[in-house]
Amino acid sequence: MSKTLNRRDFIKTSSATTVGVATIASGITLTSFAANANENPVTNEKRWGMLVDTNKLTEVEIDGMVSACQQENGWGNEVHSTGDQKPTWVKKLKVQDKATGKITSLPLMCQHCEEPPCVDVCPTNASMKREDGIVLVDKHLCIGCRYCMMACPYDARSFVHEDLTDQREHMPRGKGTVESCTLCVHKVDNGESPACVASVNSDAVIFGDLYDPKSNINQTLKKVQSAQIRADLDLNTGVRYSGI
């Protein structure tokens, strides 16, 4: 073992160490950068969107999406609300082709329009669209007038009719305010996918940045035929459907 370290060996060992350190160090830099990502305000360089393939998506999976949303955001346990009063952030919708009678099921939630009618009609600026295209209700400003619910062509918003306790930490909800799908904004800001998307195991529902040419959703939308619901309204929705 009493080997003397000659010049050549020394250079070999030290360069291997340097490469090793550099690899680890670059990893650390990347990680810390990702952790700091949500210190900066979101920008309009991104536009979050979702693509639902109704041919691939089964009814069971749609039910799974609804319950994943309930679990994540804590809605659906309202005891005093009846019928239409019950909040519904996402629902299973069945559409039938009149000619053939073919029934297609699809999950319907806030479509995160680029030109949201709910934002247009809100008297207090509570209904708002983030720079990255996510449409939200600022419940601090919401007065519960429900104009947005009337303006929404997708019936995507709900009103909370009763006092609530034990809300999710990341999703404050309360009586007298309007609420709807937030595209799981708390998860998106941390680099995760919305709960409903994560609950589907196949690629029947894709989530991502519509503007990023490298993203799966962008590339898929370029390839497949897709549609916006009520495209005639020219709202340019963030949620797209293929197979309807």
* Contacting residues toward other proteins, per CB under 8 A: 38-42, 128, 130-132, 136, 138-140, 163-169, 172-177, 185-186, 189-190
At closest approach, how far in Å is the CB of 174 from other proteins? 3
Asked if residue 183 lies in contact with residue 194, where contact means CB atoms within 8 angstroms, the answer is yes
Q: Between 56 and 86, name the residue whose CB sits nearer to other proteins.
A: 86
Of 2 and 36, nearer to other proteins (C-beta) is 36
Nearer residue to other proteins within complex by CB, 140 or 222: 140
Which phi and psi (to 5°) does residue 88 adopt?
-140, 110
Of 123 and 176, CB closest to other proteins: 176
For 54, the 3-state DSSP assignment is coil
In the complex, least distance from residue 188 CB atom to other proteins, rounded to whole angstroms? 8
- The tokens for 187 are 């998860």
Decide if 92 contacts 66 (C-beta within 8 A).
yes
Select 84 or 131, whichever has its Cβ closest to other proteins: 131
Quickly count: other Cβ atoms within 10 Å of residue 66's Cβ. Answer: 20
Buried b (16+ CB within 10 A) or exposed e, 103-120: eebbbbbbbbbeebbbbe
By C-alpha distance, which of 207, 208, 239 is closest to 226?
239
The Cβ-side half-sphere exposure at 114, using a 13 Å CA radius, reads 16
Least gap, CB of 38 to other proteins (angstroms) = 4
Q: Alpha-carbon distance 102 to 94, whole Å? A: 10
Residues 90 and 66 sit within 8 Å (Cβ to Cβ): yes
Q: Which is nearer to other proteins, 36 or 201 (CB)?
A: 36
Q: For residues 180 and 242, which CB has a smaller minimum distance to other proteins in the complex?
A: 180
Query: Residue 155: exposed, middle, or buried by beta-carbon count in 10 A (0-12, 13-18, 19+)?
Result: middle
Q: Minimal distance in Å, beta carbon 156 to other proteins? A: 19
**Least gap, CB of 193 to other proteins (angstroms):** 16
CB of 175 to other proteins, least distance (A): 7
* Closest distance of CB 119 from other proteins, Å: 12
